[in-house]
């Protein structure tokens, strides 16, 4: 059995003792008592030989605490686990609370306009008629954004907008990027009723229009006008809301229901759009939908991850990357999914190949067939694939503790 280092700069031979000896937090003690099937001794990050990216990340944590920098960016790629939002938001909110910060911001895909479930910290609205496109199943080569989704509109005129909800820790923003196609048939502007003072920059290469405001706001409405019918539709890929006044964690949950390891690669503008998010930590949680297929092949799964990691490193060479192993799941509620074991092994192969970290959620949650125990206690759904809000919150807390543990170990070193 291969062993991997789980603490930066510590010899592999002593790692097991150190991990078992690390004192559990109050939350961890509660998990051990309430859910004994969860393997808390495995709740840590695994590292290859080179963990320099995490040294840089943890230095940024220190710099954020000392207010030398204003933002740490976190991006989470995934399928329905991430689109649901609770797992990722819990993870990032824990950092906001722990660091006592309220700034940063959010990437917001217009899920509500697309008529699908949205993340809790922000919402979108429109008076128009929009069509949704996804990189899921049959794909017709329609332009997609870095969320593996897009929405299009061909109304003569309409409005659309975004607002931050009461559940958000970062309550306002003073800068927004609107990701869209640059179609000469359309023009969009901020609704004049807002009477806002702002500057605008259209960056066609990066695929967004940037608006900077003199004062912070918590919502924004745009007017969209069609000037001719010869140049196709207006396509919207999402919004980036930035609070540049207060320090904090910026979060982008790039999750699309049904996404596989290859879904995000179908976005031709993934590189420039993702680069604009300025991520410091990237988490990739893809594989449930891959392993649900009878045609699942470990080699193809690894190749898709190879390509996605390559794009991430091209955009953000110094970003720290965490791969999470696939959660245990059943096929059509009845058949336990042994392919999740192959998917787990793939993450450790990728860890060594790309010098990234692994968080072994599959083992932490109890391993093969453990989803039944989660379901029995109301932590997972009847489909034995998805989790309940309580379950996603628990996963978010566990991942936070694993990263925080690594950060504190590095400080001790």
Residues 138-172: b if buried by 16+ CB within 10 A, e if exposed: eeeeebbbbbbbbbbbbbeebebbbbbeeebbbeb
Is residue 92 pLDDT above 80, yes or no? yes
Rounded Cα–Cα distance for residues 356 and 354 (Å): 6
Query: Which band of pLDDT confidence, cut at 50, 70 and 90, is reported for residue 49?
Result: confident
The pLDDT value given to residue 195 = 81
Q: Is 177 exposed, middle or buried (0-12, 13-18, 19+ CB in 10 A)?
A: buried
Q: What is the DSSP string of 88-133?
A: HHHHHHHHHHHHT---EEEEE--TTTTTS---TTEEEEESS-EEEE
Domain formed by 1-101+248-413, architecture: 3-Layer(aba) Sandwich (3.40)
- Residue indicated by tokens 């899920």: 111
Rounded Cα–Cα distance for residues 188 and 160 (Å): 10
In whole numbers, what is the pLDDT of the chain averaged over residues? Answer: 91
| pLDDT tens-digit map of 192-216 | 777 889 999 999 999 999 999 999 9
Rounded Cα–Cα distance for residues 60 and 158 (Å): 42
Q: What are phi and psi of 288, to 5 degrees?
A: -60, -50
The pLDDT value given to residue 26 = 59
The pLDDT value given to residue 1 = 33
* Tokens matching residue 249: 């964690």
Question: Do 285 and 75 touch, CB atoms closer than 8 A?
Answer: no
Domain ranges of the chain: 1-101+248-413, 120-246
Mean pLDDT for 349-360 is: 97
Is residue 22 pLDDT above 80, yes or no? no
Chain center to CA of 288? 15
What H or E segment, with its residue span, contains residue 301?
Answer: helix 298-315
Percentage of the chain lying above the pLDDT 90 cut = 83
Query: Which band of pLDDT confidence, cut at 50, 70 and 90, is reported for residue 31?
Result: low
What H or E segment, with its residue span, contains residue 153?
Answer: strand 149-153
Query: Which band of pLDDT confidence, cut at 50, 70 and 90, is reported for residue 105?
Result: very high
The pLDDT value given to residue 411 = 80
Mean pLDDT for 15-40 is: 59
Q: Which of 109, 110, 101, 125 has the alpha carbon at shortest distance from 243?
A: 101
- CATH class, domain 120-246, is mainly beta
Mean pLDDT for 287-296 is: 95
End-to-end CA distance of the chain: 27
Higher pLDDT, 354 or 29: 354
């Amino acid at each position: 059995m291969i062993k991997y280092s789980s603490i930066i700069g510590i010899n592999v031979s002593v790692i097991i003792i150190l991990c078992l000896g690390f004192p559990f937090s109050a939350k961890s003690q509660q998990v051990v008592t309430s859910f004994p099937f969860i393997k808390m001794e495995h709740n840590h990050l695994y590292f290859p030989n080179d963990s320099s990216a995490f040294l840089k990340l943890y230095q940024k944590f220190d710099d954020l605490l000392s207010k030398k920098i204003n933002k740490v960016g976190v991006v989470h790629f995934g399928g329905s686990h991430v689109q649901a939002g609770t797992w990722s938001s819990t993870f990032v909110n824990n950092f906001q609370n722990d660091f006592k910060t309220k700034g940063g911001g959010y990437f917001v895909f217009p899920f509500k306009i697309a008529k699908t479930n949205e993340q809790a910290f922000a919402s979108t609205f429109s008076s128009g008629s929009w069509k949704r496109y996804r990189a899921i199943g049959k794909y017709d080569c329609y332009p997609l954004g870095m969320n593996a989704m897009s929405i299009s509109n061909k109304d003569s005129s309409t409005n659309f907008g975004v607002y931050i909800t009461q559940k958000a820790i970062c309550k306002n923003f003073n800068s927004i990027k609107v990701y869209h196609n640059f179609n000469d048939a359309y023009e969009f502007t901020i609704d004049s009723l807002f009477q806002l003072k702002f500057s605008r920059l259209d960056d066609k290469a990066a695929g967004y229009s940037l608006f900077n405001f003199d004062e912070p706001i918590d919502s924004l409405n745009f007017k969209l006008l069609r000037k001719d019918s010869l140049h196709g539709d207006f396509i919207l890929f999402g919004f980036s809301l930035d609070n540049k006044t207060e320090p904090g964690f910026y979060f982008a949950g790039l999750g699309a229901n049904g996404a596989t390891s290859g879904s995000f690669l179908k976005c031709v503008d993934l590189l420039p759009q993702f680069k604009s998010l300025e991520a410091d930590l990237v988490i990739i949680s893809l594989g449930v939908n891959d392993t649900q297929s009878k045609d699942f092949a470990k080699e193809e799964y690894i190749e898709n991850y190879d390509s996605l990691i390559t794009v991430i490193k091209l955009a953000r060479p110094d970003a720290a990357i965490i791969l999470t192993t696939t959660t245990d799941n059943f096929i059509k509620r009845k058949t336990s999914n042994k392919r999740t074991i192959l998917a787990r092994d793939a993450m450790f192969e990728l860890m060594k190949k790309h010098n990234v970290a692994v968080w072994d959620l599959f083992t932490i949650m109890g391993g093969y067939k453990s989803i039944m125990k989660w379901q029995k206690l109301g932590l997972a759904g009847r489909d034995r694939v998805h989790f309940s809000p309580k379950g996603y919150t628990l996963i978010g807390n566990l991942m936070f503790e694993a990263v925080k543990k690594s950060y504190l170990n590095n400080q001790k070193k």
